[in-house]
Chains A and B, each alone.
Chain A
Amino acid sequence: AQSVSQHNHHVILSEAASLELGCNYSYGGTVNLFWYVQYPGQHLQLLLKYFSGDPLVKGIKGFEAEFIKSKFSFNLRKPSVQWSDTAEYFCAVLPFSGGYNKLIFGAGTRLAVHP
């Protein structure tokens, strides 16, 4: 069965530290990749996405992610986190195997950034 694995369930960082959240998926075909973020008390929103082209994609608020096809990975990075980045982050994969939208979500990573 297809799955998405996020390696860290909880991450605690100090402001200005660098961030890397891991995401691996199990699907051998073409995929579209997403990172969603859920800030405390807010709805899930799209952080960035990869469909094709440059495997290094940039999103909102200084986040970026790199698609490494050979490793089935789509890790999220930010060089210097802020307290306002405290949120839950979800990686999601859409296998390009059908005509319908069926995202597969990872379990999420809760990030806490301390001032």
Chain B
Amino acid sequence: DGGITQSPKYLFRKEGQNVTLSCEQNLNHDAMYWYRQDPGQGLRLIYYSQIVNDFQKGDIAEGYSVSREKKESFPLTVTSAQKNPTAFYLCASSIDTGPVELFFGEGSRLTVL
């Protein structure tokens, strides 16, 4: 089945540690995105990538980093510089960056202890 796979589903980390969330898609989509979902705030865009080896900051990129070395993969690193990292993280993809449907993964819940 085609889709987006995020891992891990749940992750705990100590303060001061970096953590990397995985996102893999087999939809052959060019564009990929990372969103952060907080209660009462909806989804906010962290980073997006229109094509391999290219990515752009979204609205809340501070404390995060990404890479796009392969079309199907778009990992997100939550660094120790992120002041409030506990959240639900969603990866998405679309066929391109035009006005098209986003397909979402099931999300990764990060808790910082």
Q: Is A113 an interface residue (CB 8 A)?
A: no
Residues of B with C-beta under 8 A to A83 = none
Evaluate contact between A42 and B106: CB separation under 8 angstroms: yes
Residues of B with C-beta under 8 A to A46 = 101-102
Q: A interface, by DSSP: helix, strand, loop or mixed?
A: loop
Number of B interface residues, CB 8 Å?
28
Evaluate contact between B42 and A99: CB separation under 8 angstroms: no
Evaluate contact between B101 and A107: CB separation under 8 angstroms: no
A-B CB contacts (within 8 Å), total count: 59
Evaluate contact between B99 and A51: CB separation under 8 angstroms: yes
Evaluate contact between B90 and A100: CB separation under 8 angstroms: no
Q: A100 with B99: in contact, given A90-B42, A105-B43 (CB under 8 Å)?
A: no
With beta carbons under 8 angstroms apart, the residue of A43, A105, A107 that contacts B107 is A43
With beta carbons under 8 angstroms apart, the residue of B31, B42, B56, B99 that contacts A105 is B42
Evaluate contact between B97 and A103: CB separation under 8 angstroms: no
Residues of A with C-beta under 8 A to B44 = 105
Which residue of chain A has its CB nearest to the CB of B45?
A102
Q: A32 with B99: in contact, given A100-B56, A107-B41, A107-B42 (CB under 8 Å)?
A: yes
Which residue of chain B has its CB nearest to the CB of A30?
B99
Residues of B with C-beta under 8 A to A100 = 48, 50, 56, 97
Contact with A along B20-53 (1 / 0, CB 8 A): 0000000000010101000011111100101000
Contact with A along B63-82 (1 / 0, CB 8 A): 00000000000000000000
With beta carbons under 8 angstroms apart, the residue of A51, A96, A101 that contacts B31 is A101
Q: List 9 A-B contacts (CB under 8 A).
A: A32-B99, A36-B104, A42-B106, A44-B102, A44-B104, A90-B43, A100-B97, A101-B99, A105-B44
